[in-house]
Amino acid sequence: MGAAPLLITTTLAVLRRLAAVWAVLTNRLPRLRQLLVLQEAPDTRLSESRRFLASLLDELVIVAWVLILLFWFSQHQGYQDARRDAIETTSTLPVVSLVLPQRDGVLAQDLRQLNDSGEPIPDPPLANNVLIGDLELAREVRNSTLSDPSTKQVWRLLNQELTGWLYLIRTLPPDAKADERPLLLAVPNAKRSQTLVLAPSPPEPVA
């Protein structure tokens, strides 16, 4: 916002310069000058109108630059905040642990499988489930539904709506590229037969 005075002053100076050029052109073009003279009101009213228009133009320039800078600043700050929360080492979002019925968690890990071997199930069961879209993306989510603090990829709660929707993101490692985006998972009906546990950071593994 510190650049606002400079931008406003420069813009007004350019506009006044253009007005001066326009005045010179009208003086050099007799026909145009005669037409303007015919349309002119008495001197007092003309002078007041010019002052009003000049004041209005100044205010419009000031308001326009303030709105442009506010929009730019908000957009820039929003991107910085989103990037901060997408990176695991700087994220302020709570770590999430979501337990839900098997019928509602086709992309989640089977707790029985985890207790047996700890290996992720390669593909979701296909019975009573259909898929539209990218199969590899569904497999990637399935294979990474468990947080992995060692790789700085942890599932965190992005938002919880009153309608029952949960939005989870899988954070990115600190060395993620600037154009890399975290995975986003939307879970419907979060108030039905589900348990949600939140923590400020991933807990230390039990030895």
pLDDT averaged over every residue in the chain: 75
Q: In this prediction, what percent of the chain has a pLDDT beyond 70?
A: 64
* Average pLDDT of the segment spanning 101-125: 63
The pLDDT score that the predictor gives to residue 84 is 92
Average confidence (pLDDT) over 182-200: 78
pLDDT, one tens digit per residue, over 56-88 is 777 888 888 888 888 988 999 999 999 999 999
Which of the residue ranges 22-26, 78-82, 103-107, 129-133 has the most confident prediction, judged by mean pLDDT?
78-82
SS (H, E, C) the chain: CCCHHHHHHHHHHHHHHHHHHHHHHHHHCHHHHHHHHHHCCCHHHHHHHHHHHHHHHHHHHHHHHHHHHHHHHHHHHHHHHHHHHHECCCCCCCEEEEECCHHHCCCCCCHHHHHHCCCCCCCCCCCCCCCCCCHHHHHHHHHCCCCEHHHCECEEEEEECCCCCEEEEECECCCCCCCCCCEEEEECCCCCCCEEEEECCCCCCCC
Query: Where exactly are the structural domains of the chain?
Result: 4-86, 95-199
Is the pLDDT at 96 greater than 60? The verdict is yes
Q: pLDDT tens digits, residue range 117-153?
A: 556 555 555 566 777 888 788 778 877 888 888 888 8
pLDDT at 22 over 70: no
Q: Which band of pLDDT confidence, cut at 50, 70 and 90, is reported for residue 156?
A: very high
